[in-house]
Amino acid sequence: MHPARGRRTKLLDTIPHCGGGGRVRTQRRGQVNNIKVGVNNINCTVGGVGGIAAAVAALLEPKDEVLVPDPAWPNYRLMLAWAHGVLVPYECAPENEFLPDARQVERLITPRTKLMIVNSPCNPTGAVYTRRLLEQLVDVAVRHNLYLLSDECYDEVILDGEHVSPASFCTDGRVISAYTFSKTYAMTGWRVGYVVANDKISDSITKILESNSSCLPTVCQKAAEAALDGPREPIREMVNAYRERRDLCVGLLEEGGMLISHPQGAFYIMADVGKSGMDSREFAFDLVKTKQVAVAPGTAFGNSARRAVRISLASSPEDLSVGIGRMIDRIEELAEK
């Protein structure tokens, strides 16, 4: 069969390097948020989740403690479970725009603490960490000799302000940075991500990838190359659309007395459902049943969001308007009982 196939098909039949084909890694080398890295410091992974999981596996020994934001993406908890790490949540309070207090984070550190995870822009809250806050968190990590895993999978979905990578100013090798093509290029199904780390950690990540996935499929890497070669205007249009939907939702939630914070990144917004008299999980199931509107319960993300639900701005403005309207109606119905 091979003689009948073209050169491109043969290329797709070839198993690439465990850390990814040279072109994707070379192209990203000079484009990673002002981080100075070499090709061997970048590992292509099966989505951003693959990079984060491999980094966790490379860093942790059983019973090592990991500081994790609360609320946070639930997959951190799953990763730590199979890596036998101990999750220690640090509060990102709604009253503080879902941002952490570095002093409170530091109080949670014990002799077993090995790693701090930060996520900016944040899923589920849309919070974006300022450079000052990141400098404070990095200072904590440096003084206590911790690694810092920076989940930056929404790095180009910035609605207000700017995105700052901790590794752009902390250059001692303790910061590991994770990215994905899923959000910036709307390539979720292609499962292309990458993780950036110092030489030693990057080598360990490569070995872990060899054991669990061998490599990112060549066809996915080719799709990533096409995305990198493509125009930037569609990305700007997508972010502008998210910004307009964010502004729409802020207005609707504020009018309904449900606004918690003003998200500055990613494509999510949190809504306060405390007036329903239910916890957010119970309310989310009730809302689907009674109003045919789906939201993500805050209890899935942590204790700090137990009175909130997450709304995705990936829906159309029309659907967002109808959905939030029905949610407000349901809360009013429950409050009258």
Q: What is the pLDDT of residue 103?
A: 98
Number of alpha carbons in the 13 Å side-chain half-sphere of residue 276: 25
User: Angle at CA 294, nearest 5°, toward 96 and 317?
Assistant: 75
Half-sphere exposure of 82 (CA within 13 A, CB side): 9
Supply the pLDDT for residue 218.
86
Please write the tens of the pLDDT for every residue from 289-308. Answer: 999 999 999 999 999 999 99
Q: In what order do the strands lie in the sheet with 42-46?
A: 42-46, 192-196, 175-180, 147-151, 113-119, 65-70, 86-93, 99-100
The two three-digit tokens of residue 179, written as one number: 């990215």
Edge-first strand listing for the sheet containing 268-272? 268-272, 308-312, 296-297
pLDDT of res. 25: 65
The answer to whether domain 233-336 has CATH 3.90.1150.10 is yes
pLDDT at 7: 43
Residues 98 and 95: their CA atoms lie apart, in Å, by: 7
Q: Where are the domains of the chain?
A: 2-229, 233-336
Tell me the C-alpha distance between 48 and 179, whole Å.
Answer: 5
Q: 279 and 288 in contact (C-beta within 8 Å)?
A: no
Q: What is the per-residue pLDDT for 196?
A: 95
For residues 236-251, one letter each, b for 16 or more C-beta atoms within 10 angstroms of the residue's C-beta and e for the rest, the string is eebbeebbebbebbee
Phi, psi at residue 151, to the nearest 5°? Answer: -85, 110
Backbone phi and psi for residue 73, each to the nearest 5 degrees, phi listed first: -55, 125
CB distance 265 to 163 below 8 Å: yes
Please indicate whether the domains covering 2-229 and 233-336 agree at the CATH topology level: no
**Sign of the CA dihedral with 281 first, then 283, 286, and 291 last:** negative
pTM for the structure as a whole: 0.92
Q: What is the pLDDT along the chain (337 residues), one digit of tens a residue?
A: 344 344 455 555 565 566 666 666 666 655 667 788 888 899 999 999 999 999 999 999 999 999 999 999 999 999 999 999 999 999 999 999 999 999 999 999 999 999 999 999 999 999 999 999 999 999 999 999 999 999 999 999 999 999 999 999 999 999 999 999 999 999 999 999 999 999 999 999 999 998 887 778 888 888 998 998 899 999 999 999 999 999 999 999 999 999 999 999 999 999 999 999 999 999 999 999 999 999 999 999 999 999 999 999 999 999 999 999 999 999 999 998 7
DSSP state of 256: T
The CATH number of 2-229, from 3.30.420.40, 3.40.50.2300, 3.40.640.10, 3.40.50.12780, is 3.40.640.10
